[in-house]
Amino acid sequence: MRSIPFSSYIVRFLFAFAMIGSLTACGSGERETQRAARDGILLFGNGSEPKGIDPHLVTGVPENKIISALVEGLVSYHPTSDLESSPGMAERWESNADFTVWTFYLRDAKWTNGDPVRAQDFVYSWQRILSPELGAEYAPMLYVIKNAEAFNTGGLKDFSQVGVKALDDKTLQVTLGGSTSYFPLMLQHYSFFPVNPRAVEEHGGMTDRQSGWSTFDNYVGNGPFRLKQWVTNQVIEVERNPDYWDAKTVKLNGIRFFPIDNINAEETMFRNDRLHITNQVFPDKIPVFAEKMPEQLRNDPYLGTYFYRINVTRKPFNDPRVRRALALSLDKKLLVEKVTKGGQAPATGYVPTGIPGYEASTAVSFRPDEARRLLAEAGYPGGKGFPKTEIMINTSEAHRKVAEAVQELWRRELGIEIGIYNQEWKVYLDNQSSLNFDLSRSGWIADYAHPSTFVDMFTTGNGNNDTGWSSARYDALIEAARRAGSEEERVRLMHDAEEVLLNEMPIVPIYWYTRVYLLDTKVKGWYPKLLDNHPYKHVWLEPDASEAGK
Amino acid sequence: MPPPISAAEIADEALVEGSSLWKDAWSRLRKNRLAVGSLFTFIFIVLFCIVGPWISPWEANTQDLFLGATGPSAQHWFGTDTLGRDLMVRVMYGGRISLLVGLVATLVALSIGVIYGATAGYVGGRTDSAMMRFVDLLYAIPFTIFVILLMVAFGRSLWLMFVAIGAVEWLSMARIVRSGVIGLKKQEFVEAAVSLGYSHRRIILRHLIPNVLGPVIVIATLTVPAVMLLEAFLSFLGLGVQPPDASWGVLINEGQQNMEIYPWLLIWPAAFFATTLFCLNFIGDGLRDALDPKSAKD
Amino acid sequence: MLKFVIARLLQGILVLLAIYAVTFFLVAATPGSPFSTERAIAPEILAQIEAFYGYDKPTSERFFTSLTNVLQGEFGPSAVYANRTVTQIIAESFPVSLLLGSLALLVALGIGIPAGILAAVKRNTWLDYIPMSVSMAGICLPTFVMGPLLALLFGLILNWLPVGGWFGPEFWILPTATLGLYYAAYFARLTRGGMLEMLNQDFVRTARAKGVPETTIVLKHCLKGGLIPAITFLGPALAGIISGSFVVETIFQVPGLGQWFVRAALNRDDFLVLGLTVLFATLIVIMNLLVDIAQVALNPRLKYD
């Protein structure tokens, strides 16, 4: 007997009652989502208040969601796939045979202050984000460009030696440090976005971090939408930009971005018909939504890996056998089905599935017997004598639950006791980067759809390595991949590097992400995207016919 | 003309008076049905949390992932949580932690507050006003920021957390003790003790503090729930007890997020938490009524 | 009285200075920096950011620089929210908290004081127990339970009120109720205590013996004195209530000050932490002063000292 039916009746009753309540608009007239749909306004749950909307200074997802409505880079998001780029400010582009020199041909487009968008604007913008004085955190994204790193870290003072040049007003030539066939994919990232030089110069200049150009009053963009309203902690509203080059494609009249960091508040608002789309869904409720409102629950693949970093400088984790034992003893299928519940895939490798041409590794399957054998070989048979160690997590209900389950699974399979150490975000970051942990909860979301965004970070001394792990062979493979003549060769080298990583196991891969959220059925043209980049200009709203008369 | 009374007799009288005061207070408290009922309920809850885990066949942190969250049943009287852990045992353990947080933090607050307040009131003058300005100063620091920073710095250890919370809660205690002591200081038995040349330490500890114990106990019974609420708030922020252990605050927060789909996860811990707070508040109010000498006129 | 006010204000300024110092060094000593991010930043870039906000200087020097700026009314930029100054953030969110707080206070007083009076008059009867229990409900359930419960009931099940946001009066009701209920309990208890004390006074006995109606005794003779404890609490409560409630603001998406207290501390956004601290401390100092004046007004036996 698992549960008495009575309580489950209560549950169903409560939930059904709440559902009926939220679906029938009794007395209060037309629902907000319906009215907005008629007005062509998308109501968007956007996580948290943006820390800014200057594309060169922000680092977060909510910021990205707003900026991608306001500014357009050389390329734009493809309507249905994050594996290709659509034309943006550049009408077309070409590269030389080994993908080191790229030429972009710009279209006639305007900034919201009336200036034409010129190739020089991109040179200015990339100089700005790479200027050491600006201190842009995402500047390393541009290191793919020749000499960009040297300029950004202060070694090179002369920007003309960096590989970006305006051949004329409409032609931009970019020289890369190495062969990079996926450069147009990288260009989707907001760190490559242009800023309007005149606006920046008028409000503090190129390298002023607190430059006023990106405030509500002074903002200048070139994207499909422009700012209409900004109430802190409440709403940021954008409206259709009539001067956008592709304005005829844009179907929405506007988008309201609501910063809601509390997951339950967001869900309540969605069910209260105040949002068309949520940022997330509480994991335990996913099965309920799947049953009660399947047409509104979205579960899209998402290019990211959830894993635990292992500090290989600490005993007993300096022994690769111990690390392998941890990784092989985890029943990840059970974990994703019973704990995370969002349809995530158990990670059998580090680089997630979904990147065309790159087959995900299957090296880390569930092999508890082998794990126990490895642990015994390392000197801890049945977990005896295993020192007291901890999983460090940052404060979050979801991470806590995963860690509690992992703790129990390791206890069961290996007989080892591992504690959990819940840390507030900033302390957690400090501890992680100073290797002050045993095991650390981590996640990595791709910046662009290519394995390099994952494998590059575990090279020796990389700022994002954070495990103390170092392998000459791995470094050599990554370096070779960077110089590879063909895409096939590059991918093969990266694959080899991943196998080295998974053999040494400085990380315990747990699952590959999915994006789970609620989406109103009135929203159309919203496709599953691997990187969750949704081009708003292709999205439209259809009011419910049944409600139209109200 | 009555015979002269020695200073020592006056000084000791206060101690005797103390005991009869308690007797009167108890008889008055017994008349307050709500307070008495609260007291028994509270004792029951405390026993439930302390003894329960020894009797229950379940372990607080043992999971059954295949089982998951299930409603109350014959095996799991309170149901299980989303990781398949028995909720009743978790509520018991959570109660131990929450009550301990309340108790220890209150004791910390009590010791700092009583000694600080009594010293300030007894010494008086400039020292007093300097000491009280310091209390004013701490009052004016925004509590949220202060507690978060303390938790961030000391969140690692449960004991440091108690101390940190206690260190925030002693302020009202100090104020009340001080005003009580100032009132007492002018009374005969204290002047008598002074004239006998008793040490300040002895006067404060033997004569002053016991006589302000009434209001202090009242404040203490009201501080425990305040601390428990604060702990719950910290759990809401995720800064509470380290997992997999859980206080009532953690359990309630978890339940609150699941309240529509697994209502028992909210109902049980919230019921225990609210009942405990109810009881403590009514016990505190009852004690205040009972210990208030003026109400003796009833 | 003027002398009293001036003396208290001078003391208040000292308190503010001391608090400023305490907070500054507390934030400086807390691990974590406003600039730590999940993705590694090159040390050269981090150094540039730190230099921009003056973090490359020793703590003591930073303290004096920031103090000088604050004394000139310059609270500085937020280290985390680009292009926003501390003054702007406070100016945007404080009016919202002020409104929410005032409404909640009305609810708290409206429920708490009548409940307290009734409870005191009908002491140890069901008319004592029931109103006290009801008003106590607000502090026995944490606001993060009360809030979602009200949201579920009125927002989703009954569908009477909108949930989430601060767009008009219909949005104010649920947050106000949640916050107000929490404080109602305190006012009820303090009023009950104060009223009991007054009702036990000798003059009440005399009045009763003379046959003065009970209503007159309660409302005319005891109410003024009986409210003193509640008014004493009003000061700190008011400062707390109008500087926002993190939980209520989070649950109902109210763009108030309370979220910033938590966010500033978690971000280690020290200029913002300091600005908020100064604001809060100033409120406390002023409220306490007003409370003292009100107490003297209610109780002629007290004098300014």
Number of independent structural domains in chain C: 1
Choose the weakest-confidence range: A27-31, B254-258, C71-75, C254-258: A27-31
Q: Is B151 within 8 Å of A424 when comparing Cβ atoms?
A: yes
Residue B80 resides in a domain: no
For residues A161 and A105, membership in a common domain is answered with: yes
Which residues share a beta bridge with A95? A102
Alpha carbon C128 to its chain centroid, in Å, reads 28
For residues A164 and A148, membership in a common domain is answered with: yes
The answer to whether the beta carbons of residues A243 and A228 sit under 8 Å apart is no
Compute the nearest-CA separation of A511 from chain C (Å): 19
CA end-to-end span of chain C: 9
More confident residue, C10 or B25: C10
Residue A413 has pLDDT above 90, yes or no: yes
For residues A102 and A2, membership in a common domain is answered with: no
pLDDT band at A78 (very low <50, low <70, confident <90, very high): very high
Nearest CA in chain C to B136: C15
Q: Residue A257 and residue A235: Cα distance in Å, rounded?
A: 6
The reported pLDDT for the residue numbered B71 is 84
Q: Which two three-digit tokens encode residue B68?
A: 């998951």
The reported pLDDT for the residue numbered A480 is 92
Mean pLDDT of A422-443: 91
Q: Is A154 within 8 Å of C152 when comparing Cβ atoms?
A: no
Q: Quick one: which of B224, B223, B225, B252 has its CA closest to B236?
A: B252
For residues A507 and A543, membership in a common domain is answered with: no
The reported pLDDT for the residue numbered A18 is 52
Q: Residue A195 and residue A127: Cα distance in Å, rounded?
A: 11
The reported pLDDT for the residue numbered A25 is 42
Q: Is A214 on the interface with C (CB under 8 A)?
A: yes
Q: Quick one: which of C126, C182, C178, C119 has its CA closest to C151?
A: C178
Residue B187 has pLDDT above 90, yes or no: no
The reported pLDDT for the residue numbered A5 is 40
Nearest CA in chain C to A443: C38
Residue B19 resides in a domain: no
Question: What is chain A's Cα-based Rg?
Answer: 25
Query: Which of A169, A192, A212 is at the close of a domain?
Result: A212
Q: Is C40 on the interface with A (CB under 8 A)?
A: yes
Residues in chain C closer than 8 A to A271 (CB atoms):
156
| Other beta carbons within 10 Å of A248 | 8
Q: The domain that contains C182 carries what CATH number?
A: 1.10.3720.10
Unique residue bearing structure tokens 């008014």? C231
pLDDT digits (tens, 9 = 90+) for C216-242: 888 877 887 788 778 877 777 777 787
Q: Is C80 within 8 Å of A51 when comparing Cβ atoms?
A: yes
DSSP codes, chain B: -PPP--HHHHHHHHHHHHHHHHHHHHHHHHH-HHHHHHHHHHHHHHHHHHHHHHH-SS-TT---TTT-S----SSSTT-B-TT--BHHHHHHHHHHHHHHHHHHHHHHHHHHHHHHHHHHHHH-HHHHHHHHHHHHHHHTS-HHHHHHHHHHHHTT-HHHHHHHHHHHHHHHHHHHHHHHHHHHHTSHHHHHHHHTT--HHHIIIIIIHHHHHHHHHHHHHHHHHHHHHHHHHHHHHT-SSPTT---HHHHHHHHHHTTTT-THHHHHHHHHHHHHHHHHHHHHHHHHHHH-GGGGG-
Nearest to B263 among A14, A263, A405 (CB): A14
pLDDT band at A548 (very low <50, low <70, confident <90, very high): very low
pLDDT band at A211 (very low <50, low <70, confident <90, very high): confident
E runs forming strands in A412-524: 418-423, 439-445, 507-518, 523-524
The reported pLDDT for the residue numbered B6 is 53
The reported pLDDT for the residue numbered B155 is 62
Residue B25 has pLDDT above 50, yes or no: yes
Contacts of A368 (CB under 8 A, 6+ apart): A328, A329, A331, A413
Q: The domain that contains B108 carries what CATH number?
A: 1.10.3720.10
Residue C64 resides in a domain: no
DSSP conformational letter for C261: H
For residues A66 and A26, membership in a common domain is answered with: yes
Does a cis peptide bond (omega within 30 degrees of 0) precede residue A87? no
pLDDT digits (tens, 9 = 90+) for B192-213: 877 888 888 888 777 777 777 7
Domain interval for residue C180: 94-258
Q: Is C197 within 8 Å of B136 when comparing Cβ atoms?
A: no
Q: Quick one: which of C88, C274, C5, A538 has its CA closest to B146?
A: C274
Residue C136 has pLDDT above 80, yes or no: no
Residue % of chain B over a pLDDT of 90: 12
Q: Residue C280 and residue C277: Cα distance in Å, rounded?
A: 5
Window 401-430 of A, Cβ < 8 Å to B: 401, 403-405, 407-408, 419-424, 426-427
pLDDT band at A547 (very low <50, low <70, confident <90, very high): low
Fill in the amino acid letter for A222. N
Contacts of A546 (CB under 8 A, 6+ apart): none
The mean of the pLDDT values for chain A is 90
Mean pLDDT of B242-250: 85
For residues A524 and A442, membership in a common domain is answered with: no
Q: Is A486 on the interface with C (CB under 8 A)?
A: no
Contacts of A49 (CB under 8 A, 6+ apart): A62, A232, A233, A259, C81
Query: Which of A183, A212, A241 is at the close of a domain?
Result: A212
Residue A392 phi, psi dihedral angles, 5° rounding: -90, 125
Residue A33 has pLDDT above 90, yes or no: yes
For residues A329 and A414, membership in a common domain is answered with: yes
pLDDT digits (tens, 9 = 90+) for A300-316: 999 999 999 999 999 89
Number of independent structural domains in chain B: 1
CB pairs under 8 A between B and C: 130
Q: How many CA atoms lie within 13 A of B290 on its CB side?
A: 27
pLDDT digits (tens, 9 = 90+) for B73-123: 888 888 888 888 988 999 999 999 999 988 888 998 888 998 898 888 888
The reported pLDDT for the residue numbered A4 is 39
For residues A176 and A257, membership in a common domain is answered with: no
pLDDT band at B12 (very low <50, low <70, confident <90, very high): low
pLDDT band at A496 (very low <50, low <70, confident <90, very high): very high
More confident residue, A362 or A15: A362
Domain interval for residue B219: 42-48+89-291
Mean pLDDT of A494-504: 94
Q: The domain that contains A107 carries what CATH number?
A: 3.90.76.10
Angle subtended by helix axes B209-237 and B87-123, to nearest 10: 140
Residue C163 has pLDDT above 50, yes or no: yes
Residue A103 has pLDDT above 70, yes or no: yes
| Other beta carbons within 10 Å of A543 | 17
Mean pLDDT of A445-463: 91
Mean pLDDT of C31-55: 85
Residue A287 resides in a domain: no
For residues A146 and A182, membership in a common domain is answered with: yes
β-bridge pairing A540-541 and A523-524: antiparallel
Compute the nearest-CA separation of B145 from chain C (Å): 6
Residue B65 resides in a domain: no
Domain interval for residue A531: 1-70+223-278+519-550
Does a cis peptide bond (omega within 30 degrees of 0) precede residue A294? no
Number of independent structural domains in chain A: 3
Q: Is A153 within 8 Å of C44 when comparing Cβ atoms?
A: yes
- CA torsion angle C162 C167 C170 C174 (round to 10): 70
DSSP conformational letter for A220: -
pLDDT band at A1 (very low <50, low <70, confident <90, very high): very low
pLDDT band at A144 (very low <50, low <70, confident <90, very high): very high
